[in-house]
Structure 1
């Protein structure tokens, strides 16, 4: 998995009753765009993310849209 600052992460819920989480990658700590990623989530919290199979990176497009 590769990502850049400004890409978004969508982490799908793995359990009933839990909600999906979305956030923006604010720092890439791995080499060549690899994890871990520092992500600022929609609720304002930030955390280090090592994406698993329940995670999707949504890359920025050239026009600023996702």
Structure 2
């Protein structure tokens, strides 16, 4: 999975009754866009570090900055 800052990450529920979560990627840990990702969740505004699994997908941000301007964390 490859993502850039500004992309949305969507986590589908894995169990009956689980809600879908949507967040905005605010930082990536690797220059190639690989996980983990720092995500600000749209439902509660909290920011977490995640290693997405099979239930996750990335939705590209059409207005994102070029990859060399991305903010990385270590």
TM-score norm. by structure 2 comes to 0.78
Work out whether residues 28 and 38 of structure 1, in 8 Å CA contact, stay in contact via their aligned partners in 2. yes
Match of 1:29 in 2: 29
Match of 1:51 in 2: 52
CA positional deviation for 1:62? 4.1
Match of 1:61 in 2: 62
What's the CA shift string for 1:31-59, capped at 9, x where partnerless?
A: 31000000000110111111111000001
For structure 2, list consecutive stretches of 5 or more residues without a partner in the other structure. Answer: 65-74
Match of 1:4 in 2: 4
For structure 1, list consecutive stretches of 5 or more residues without a partner in the other structure. Answer: none
1 or 2, which has the higher strand percentage?
Answer: 1
State the aligned residue count: 63
Moved over 2 A (4+): none
Instruction: Give the CA RMSD over aligned residues.
Output: 1.4
